[in-house]
Amino acid sequence: MAQPLEIACDESGAEGEKLVGGNTDVFAHAGVGMDMPAAAGCIAELRARAPSPVSEYKANHILREKHRAALKWLLGPAGPVLGQVHVFLADKPFFAVGKLVELLAEDTGDRLPGIGLRADPQIRAMAVDLYREGPAAFGAGRWTAFLDSFNYLLRAKNGQGITTSVEDAFRLVGDLRGTGGRAGAIVEELWRARPRVESFRERLLADPHVFPALDPLIPGIVNAVAFWGRGGRPVSVVHDRQTTLTDERIAQLREILGERRLAGLRLIESSLDARVQVGDVMAGVARKIASDELAGRGDPQLTALLRPYVDAQSIWGDDRSWAALHPRS
């Protein structure tokens, strides 16, 4: 077997399985293929171009307007990261819609790995239709309440003491029935799928260690391994510490990917590895640029600079912003 390629990874916008109504609407996961000296040189140059007295350099330092020239250098063709960093993006509300629509599939499986991991064109098409038509068809308030309810229902762990029952969620579904259009038709299918939803919820409650189906960190890691391991080369991942990545879940990831693809995954404090620090900066920069683009307030120059880094398998439902973010759109 070929010698594994070691990559370093970090994320920005992680809120576990909370995909709706959180602090961020976009999740970004960066994979870094630089060696340690090159990564350390990158961070040193960032400190020279955009000075900060902090012990660990972060994306928010270079995102300040006064450091725009340094940011353009970092992302641009003369910078150190082009071809050495790849970024997976997830539009969190669209990811939530995709998870909801997956419940309509005949075989949901035990893990619901989701858009970005299972290539089901019909499921994706339904998710896109619901995501794009839902807010206008149902009204912004009812749409958000609907998504939020199912986000809590499908989470392995619900924080803040919030509980949502199947009955509560389907009371909202009942209110949306009869809307008409494609979004209304999908809601009707969801209404008929209530037994499947109840079954999935029972599995969540019965197993406190269930794989976190709604956490975009999981497809982030999977797609990083797929990108860097293209051609069949095994990949070893060094990742910033994440509570999601328990020993059990790392073992599950290796099962999903196969040990010939994911040779290993170890967690480290980002301050101890310059490559992870580069991943942290790039993930934070990508998340901010992509979030602004999604909201319709994107900076065309920065968006264009980000394009070469964006993973084609990112979880994204909005055509306009995706056309701006991805070079092959």
Residue 90 Rama label (left phi>0; alpha psi -120 to 50; beta): beta
d(CA 157, CA 213): 11
Rg of the Cα atoms in the chain? 20
- Quick: pLDDT tens for 299-310: 999 999 999 999
The residue extents of the domains of the chain are 5-90+214-325, 92-206
d(CA 184, CA 71): 44
Q: Which 8-state DSSP code applies to residue 135?
A: H
Question: Is the pLDDT reported for residue 315 higher than 60?
Answer: yes
Kindly report the pTM of this predicted structure. 0.93
What is the model's pLDDT at position 116? Answer: 52
At 117, is the pLDDT very low, low, confident or very high (cuts 50, 70, 90)?
low
- The CATH class, in words, for 5-90+214-325 is alpha beta
- Quick: pLDDT tens for 150-159: 998 888 665 5
Question: Is the pLDDT reported for residue 61 higher than 70?
Answer: yes
CB atoms within 10 A of CB 108: 17
- Quick: pLDDT tens for 241-254: 998 888 988 988 88
